[in-house]
Amino acid sequence: MKHIWQSRSGRIGLVIVGTALLIVLVSLVWTPHDPSRVVPADRWLPISRDHWFGTDGAGKDLFSQVLVGARTTLFVVLASVAIAAVIGLVMGIFSALAPRWVGESTVYLIDVLIALPGLVLALVLVAALGGSLWTVSLAIGFGAGVVLARVVKSETHTVLTRDYIVAANASGSSTFRTIGRHIMPNIGPIVIVQLSIIAAFAVLAEAALSYLGLTPVSTPSWGRMLQGLQQSVTVHPWAIVFPGAAVVLATLGFNLLGDGLREAMDPTLRRRTATGVTGPGTTPPSESLPSELTVVRP
Amino acid sequence: MTLFVIRRLGLLVGALFLSSIVIFVLLHLLPGDVARVLGGTEASPERIEALRAELGLDRSFLEQYTDWIGGILHGDFGRSLLNNKSVLDELTSKLTVTAPLVLFSSALAAVVAVPLGFVAAARHRRVDGVALNVASQLGIAVPSFFVGLLLVVVVSVKWDLLPAQGFPTDGWDDPAEALRALALPVITLAISQGAVLFRFVRSAALDVIGQDYMRTARAKGLTRSQALVRHGLRNASVPIVSILGVQIASLIAGVLVIERVFQLPGVGQMLVTDVGTRDLGKVQGTVLLIAVIVLVIGFVVDIVHGLIDPRLRAVG
């Protein structure tokens, strides 16, 4: 935590993510107006002391809508990051530890799944299951999880070549014990950085999916606000700024937090490349990329 | 090299086959029945059974799959469950909008982001390098549809320069009109893709700058930029080509959203609409086509890798 605070990106990221959490907590107990109450007399009110962000074409308070929208974003972020972590760790560690041909077929399957763009996968799942927040989170988490699996697999491979693994095996440590005591702690930092990037991706993906109208109509969300406000963007261009800025800030927050985490853990990362373990030419192209290169975007 | 290409080709064919299974399984094993949707909520159980038989949904899983994949191998991507139109015909007409959109925007993104990435890496401690980096960080965080909306507000509404929405109904009969309609979508996609590409190029170039051969190049009397162009470019190009391949996948995802923003009658709009109406026949054909495109591009990227860096051919 202290190390994250020392990097500028980490500091800004922590502040933004912390504020977002605070907003969600506040929105649970208080919003200035009922975000879904239609007040025909109050259509397109400008920014005022009563309506901090003004109102939309139905007279609904935009500030309250942004506050409540943060809940949906946070829910999808937490759920999809958790799903991605489970899929990524299980598939990644399994394919690294399993017998050679099993592991290689798993990696092959992962590569095929990566070929389906995350948002397209989300569309397929929504088509099959119908759009609920869980479906959306499952889709985002699954798409990000297979990408994470690839990173986990190559990191685990690196760890497996270390002497302490040989020592653990020699002293009769069970597979699960080796995973828990030696593999997880060593791939942990990289996985955490990746999860923070996945969180940023989830913010964008949720916004995109709800903008496309694939989340439930009743769920307030920034993407859905933008979809509604777009219809009158020629007359009231200002309104889109607020939900748009909310998406940008949330994404930026998680991305910067990821940068901060990376910098905080830099000594290990730097040592890893310095010893040439991931040097050019020794690994296939997709694995020789720096870990930063696994950003996906919708 | 021939062996390398053959091996990659084998992997490609396997991946195509596997992805068709994944798509089919995802769309068929999960709950939700097209017959029920088609019949409406009022339909009697007998009517739904009849519909299922008509659509071939009552046959075994394997039969349905072989039927579908057999059709595709003969160039038949199936028919829409709702209006019985050929999926392939509709796809080809939609591609006249989507393909130029993808090609132009990736070309624009590459032309701008690659040189800028190198500049930012070479000057990563100077003000301009840092400024570029911050700008790209922002570019990544802004959702593409928001960029699109902002461009519409400024370029179309304020300046009245380009059309805000739509595509000429007569398609490319009037190329100038069609290009004008595509201008804003292309710029929007190029901005959000370019920001990601920029970061990859920058970090690839930064990696190269730290290498010993760059110090050697400087030591034998080359300037920084000479060393970067002569020795850095080729070495950095391996990860950059990888990224161009990966980006195609995210570009296609971006197209889904951008076509909605600008109301372009392309593949993305069609897919979103089909998902809304649960026209699974069309969805699976369209998604398979997307997977095929991404996998084929991945294959091409691998081959290009082999051409750039002979060491990678052996790893296979």
ipTM of the shown complex = 0.79
State which residue of chain A sits closest to B203, comparing Cα positions.
Answer: A290
- The residue type of B41 is T
State which residue of chain A sits closest to B17, comparing Cα positions.
Answer: A112
User: pLDDT grade, residue A272 (50/70/90)?
Assistant: very low
Q: For chain A, what is the HEC assignment?
A: CHHHHHCHHHHHHHHHHHHHHHHHHHHHHCCCCCCCCCCHHHCCCCCCCCCCCCECCCCCEHHHHHHHHHHHHHHHHHHHHHHHHHHHHHHHHHHHHCCHHHHHHHHHHHHHHHCCCHHHHHHHHHHHHCCCHHHHHHHHHHHHHHHHHHHHHHHHHHHHCCHHHHHHHHCCCCHHHHHHHHHHHHHHHHHHHHHHHHHHHHHHHHHHHHHCCCCCCCCCCHHHHHHHHHCCCCCCHHHHHHHHHHHHHHHHHHHHHHHHHHHHCHHHHHHHHHCCCCCCCCCCHHHCCCHHHHCCCC
pLDDT tops 80 at residue B255: yes
pLDDT tops 90 at residue B223: no
d(CA A46, CA B226): 56
Element (H, E) at B52: helix B45-55
Cβ atoms of residues A291 and B203 within 8 Å: no
State which residue of chain B sits closest to A211, comparing Cα positions.
Answer: B257
The pLDDT score that the predictor gives to residue A202 is 92
Cβ atoms of residues A50 and A39 within 8 Å: no
The pLDDT score that the predictor gives to residue B108 is 93
pLDDT in tens, A256-266: 898 888 878 75
Cβ atoms of residues A277 and A183 within 8 Å: no
How far does B57 lie from chain A, in Å, by closest CA? 15
| Candidates B156, B257, B259, B284, partner chain A, best to mutate (most A CBs within 10 A) | B257
pLDDT tops 70 at residue A141: yes
pLDDT in tens, A66-114: 888 889 999 999 999 999 999 999 999 999 888 888 888 888 888 888 7
The pLDDT score that the predictor gives to residue A284 is 33
Inspect the interface and report whether the beta carbons of A111 and B15 lie closer than 8 Å: yes
Check if A12 contacts B (Cβ < 8 Å): no
Read off the pLDDT of each residue in A167-196 and give the average, rounded to a whole number.
Answer: 87
The pLDDT score that the predictor gives to residue B67 is 82
Inspect the interface and report whether the beta carbons of A244 and B287 lie closer than 8 Å: no
State which residue of chain B sits closest to A250, comparing Cα positions.
Answer: B141
Interface of A with B in 161-200 (CB under 8 A): 200
Tokens of A94: 């399994």
Inspect the interface and report whether the beta carbons of B11 and A108 lie closer than 8 Å: yes
Inspect the interface and report whether the beta carbons of A208 and B145 lie closer than 8 Å: yes
Cβ atoms of residues A239 and A229 within 8 Å: yes
| Candidates B27, B98, B140, partner chain A, best to mutate (most A CBs within 10 A) | B140
- Average pLDDT of chain B? 82
The pLDDT score that the predictor gives to residue A279 is 33
Out of A108, A249, A285, closest to residue B242 by CB: A285
pLDDT tops 50 at residue B82: yes
Cβ atoms of residues A45 and A34 within 8 Å: no
∠ Cα A204 A208 A214 (to 5°): 135
How far does A44 lie from chain B, in Å, by closest CA? 17
pLDDT in tens, A207-241: 988 888 888 877 888 988 888 888 877 777 788 88
Out of A127, A211, A244, closest to residue B275 by CB: A127
Kindly report the pTM of this predicted structure: 0.82
CA-based max dimension of chain A: 77
State which residue of chain B sits closest to A127, comparing Cα positions.
Answer: B275
Inspect the interface and report whether the beta carbons of B274 and A247 lie closer than 8 Å: no
Percent of chain B with pLDDT over 90: 4
pLDDT in tens, A61-79: 888 888 888 899 999 999 9
Check if B26 contacts A (Cβ < 8 Å): yes
Interface of A with B in 83-142 (CB under 8 A): 108-109, 111-120, 123-130
Cβ atoms of residues A138 and A125 within 8 Å: yes
How far does B156 lie from chain A, in Å, by closest CA? 9
Inspect the interface and report whether the beta carbons of B145 and A226 lie closer than 8 Å: yes
The pLDDT score that the predictor gives to residue A287 is 32
User: Residue B275: its chain A contacts at CB < 8 A?
Assistant: 123-124, 126-127, 214
Inspect the interface and report whether the beta carbons of A212 and B272 lie closer than 8 Å: yes
The pLDDT score that the predictor gives to residue B293 is 85
Cβ atoms of residues A137 and A83 within 8 Å: yes
Check if B288 contacts A (Cβ < 8 Å): no
Interface of B with A in 214-233 (CB under 8 A): none
CATH number of A2-38+64-269: 1.10.3720.10
Out of A214, A244, A284, closest to residue B275 by CB: A214
State which residue of chain A sits closest to B236, comparing Cα positions.
Answer: A280
User: Residue B310: its chain A contacts at CB < 8 A?
Assistant: none
Element (H, E) at B201: helix B175-209
| Dihedral of the alpha carbons of B203, B204, B207, B212, in degrees to the nearest 10 | -160
State which residue of chain B sits closest to A253, comparing Cα positions.
Answer: B141
Out of B207, B249, B257, closest to residue A290 by CB: B207
Inspect the interface and report whether the beta carbons of A108 and B14 lie closer than 8 Å: yes
List beta partners, residue B86: B79
How far does A138 lie from chain B, in Å, by closest CA? 13
Count Cβ–Cβ pairs < 8 Å, chain A vs chain B: 192
